[in-house]
């Protein structure tokens, strides 16, 4: 079931927010009960739905779903919070002068900023990836700058650990830089589980009357970001 209001549609089942190219059918026209039901379901959904805001300084926080929320700072990305989603972070730890990689999932923080890299002064986030099979390129420096760059399969290199885990050095040698390159494609990626395939077939509907949708717009003003 999708509830539509003006140019916005909200699906209580999966928390998806959709912005349409044009105003859809007048779902609420002259129907105050429909309006009440929509916002009641929206409020109920907000209890379980969280928004994840990740910042370029290596911090993040989660918020409840509220269209008036503002996200201040140098934002890296903002998305619906998924507790099972795995991220891979590359960061530099100034305290030991080394590049680290870590794999983890974010936790609900209830508007409290949390760092997911080293707290040592001078440490910084290099990059963050949510690719399924991320691949890292390590470029050597110092005494080892003559070595060719090395590619690392992040999944094989380090297992997923807790949010506050330090991670693992990308190399014991002198490293000049690290970066994500084209993610790997593994044989199992092309195999769809029978259960998922059946669900997809069962969920097929006639979309001929549905207006094309586009991604959620994010408005940024004076270094503040809001939903809508």
49 and 2 both lie in a single domain: yes
pLDDT (average), residues 186-212? 59
pLDDT tens track for 7-20: 444 454 455 544 43
Task: Residue 175: name the closest of 116, 77, 90 by CA.
Answer: 90
The pLDDT, as a whole number, for residue 66 is 81
92 and 182 both lie in a single domain: yes
The pLDDT, as a whole number, for residue 198 is 52
pLDDT tens track for 123-143: 999 999 999 999 999 999 999
The pLDDT, as a whole number, for residue 5 is 40
Q: What are phi and psi of 38, to 5 degrees?
A: -60, -55
Alpha helices in the chain (DSSP H): 32-48, 154-157, 194-202
pLDDT at 70 over 60: yes
Residue 9's SS3 state is strand
Let me know if residue 69 belongs to a domain: yes
Name every residue whose Cβ is closer than 8 Å to that of residue 127 and which is 6 or more positions away in sequence: 89, 90, 179, 180
62 and 148 both lie in a single domain: no
72 and 12 both lie in a single domain: yes
Using pLDDT thresholds of 50, 70 and 90, give the confidence band for residue 189: confident
The pLDDT, as a whole number, for residue 215 is 46
116 and 147 both lie in a single domain: yes
Percentage of the chain modeled with pLDDT above 70 = 63
126 and 144 both lie in a single domain: yes
92 and 77 both lie in a single domain: no
Determine which helix (DSSP H) or strand (DSSP E) holds 212, and give its type and residue range.
none
105 and 34 both lie in a single domain: no
Let me know if residue 70 belongs to a domain: yes
Let me know if residue 47 belongs to a domain: yes
The pLDDT, as a whole number, for residue 220 is 45
The pLDDT, as a whole number, for residue 200 is 55
pLDDT tens track for 163-175: 999 999 999 999 9
Tokens of 46: 């907000």
Tokens of 2: 């999708």
Let me know if residue 193 belongs to a domain: no
Let me know if residue 192 belongs to a domain: no
Number of domains observed in the structure of the chain: 2
Burial class (CB in 10 A: 0-12, 13-18, 19+), 32: exposed
Cα distances (Å, whole numbers) of residue 62 to 52, 80, 81, 96: 5, 9, 7, 30
Let me know if residue 160 belongs to a domain: yes
Using pLDDT thresholds of 50, 70 and 90, give the confidence band for residue 216: very low
pLDDT at 28 over 70: no
| Residue range of the domain that includes 178 | 85-187
pLDDT (average), residues 26-44? 52
Task: Residue 212: name the closest of 1, 3, 5, 7 by CA.
Answer: 7
pLDDT at 84 over 90: yes
98 and 170 both lie in a single domain: yes
Cα distances (Å, whole numbers) of residue 94 to 8, 118, 154: 45, 8, 22
203 and 133 both lie in a single domain: no
CA distance linking residue 127 with residue 56, whole number of Å: 8
Let me know if residue 130 belongs to a domain: yes
127 and 148 both lie in a single domain: yes
Residue 35's SS3 state is helix
103 and 182 both lie in a single domain: yes
For residue 52, list its beta bridge partners: 62, 79
């Amino acid at each position: 079931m999708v509830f539509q209001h003006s140019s916005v549609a909200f699906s209580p089942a999966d928390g998806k927010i959709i912005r349409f190219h044009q105003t859809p059918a007048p779902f609420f026209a002259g129907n105050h009960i429909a309006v009440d039901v929509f916002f009641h379901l929206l409020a109920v959904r907000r209890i379980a739905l969280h928004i994840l805001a990740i910042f370029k300084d290596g911090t993040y926080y989660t918020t409840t779903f509220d269209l008036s929320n503002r996200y201040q700072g140098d934002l890296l990305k903002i998305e619906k919070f998924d507790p099972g989603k795995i991220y891979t972070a590359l960061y530099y730890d100034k305290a030991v002068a080394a590049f680290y990689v870590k794999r983890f999932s974010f936790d609900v923080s209830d508007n409290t900023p949390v760092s997911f890299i080293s707290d040592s002064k001078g440490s910084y986030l290099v990059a963050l990836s949510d690719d399924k099979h991320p691949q890292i390129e390590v470029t050597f420096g110092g005494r080892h700058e003559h070595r060719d760059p090395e590619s690392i399969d992040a999944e094989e290199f380090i297992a997923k650990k807790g949010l506050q885990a330090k991670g693992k050095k990308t190399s014991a040698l002198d490293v000049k830089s690290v970066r994500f390159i084209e993610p790997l494609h593994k044989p199992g990626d092309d195999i769809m589980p029978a259960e998922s395939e059946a669900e997809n077939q069962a969920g097929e509907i006639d979309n001929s009357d549905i207006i094309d949708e586009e991604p959620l717009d994010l408005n940024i003003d004076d270094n503040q970001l809001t939903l809508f």
